[in-house]
Amino acid sequence: AQTVTQSQPEMSVQEAETVTLSCTYDTSESDYYLFWYKQPPSRQMILVIRQEAYKQQNATENRFSVNFQKAAKSFSLKISDSQLGDAAMYFCASKGYGGSQGNLIFGKGTKLSVKP
Amino acid sequence: NAGVTQTPKFQVLKTGQSMTLQCAQDMNHEYMSWYRQDPGMGLRLIHYSVGAGITDQGEVPNGYNVSRSTTEDFPLRLLSAAPSQTSVYFCASSRPAGYSYEQYFGPGTRLTVT
């Protein structure tokens, strides 16, 4: 069974600064995918970034990047030049390959506050 | 292209009542799923479907029923509502299971059972 752990229930960052959100996971799958989703107060789940486990290169999307450490089963999200609109809940999720393993397994989330 | 739509957005039920949460997608996605979100718990899978006519249970299926008669629709039925089912419910869809494609989420339904 897959598990995802986010050890930081809340984080705070100053506007324009950089913040890193932590995530660790456990899986017996050899092929899997990792995601970070953002949930603003509107409740909508928004995909921030995705990483395919077989790719060694860390994924980046504009101000968002990940530090993927496969051996350590670690998948942290770095937000650079933080903006007020980045304030939200952030969920780390893993997804296996095929059948029931194709479902997302979520961590409990990290609430990010951005101070002006 | 509306994506994933859910109705209603809010609902209040009394204990013992039944209701159906509607979910529809217009992206021709084979894979659909229902999650519930409780404070401090993240999202947990209730039921999922890999195609029309095929459904299976997730992590927390008790008290819920699903069917998938068409590719577009995946309703979630609460058979006899209980206060423990107070939660926010999300429907999601994606291209076939087993691929890296992201899941697209609906806007959610906030359900309160009194």
Task: From chain A, pick out residues whose CB is under 8 angstroms from the CB of B23.
Answer: none
Whether B100 and A95 lie within 8 Å, measured CB to CB:
yes
Return mean pLDDT, chain B.
92
Whether A100 and B56 lie within 8 Å, measured CB to CB:
yes
When comparing pLDDT for B50 and A15, which is higher?
A15
Question: In which residue are the tokens 């609902």 written?
Answer: B11
Q: Which of A50, A99, A106 sits opposite B42 (nearest CB)?
A: A106
When comparing pLDDT for B12 and B1, which is higher?
B12
Q: Which two tokens stand for residue B74?
A: 């995946």
Note the pLDDT tens digit of each residue in B36-86. 999 888 899 999 998 899 999 998 999 999 999 999 999 999 999 999 999
- Residue A73 near residue A2 (C-beta atoms within 8 A): no
- Residue B69 near residue B83 (C-beta atoms within 8 A): no
What is the residue type of B26?
A: D
Task: State how far the Cα of A53 lies from the Cα of B79, in Å rounded to an integer.
Answer: 40
SS3 letters for chain B? CCCEEEECCEEEECCCCCEEEEEEECCCCCEEEEEEEECCCEEEEEEEEEECCEEEECCCCCCEEECCCCCCECCEEECCCCHHHCEEEEEEEECCCCCCCCCEECCCEEEEEC
Whether B103 and A97 lie within 8 Å, measured CB to CB:
no
Note the pLDDT tens digit of each residue in A34-87. 999 999 999 999 999 999 888 889 999 999 999 999 999 999 999 999 999 999
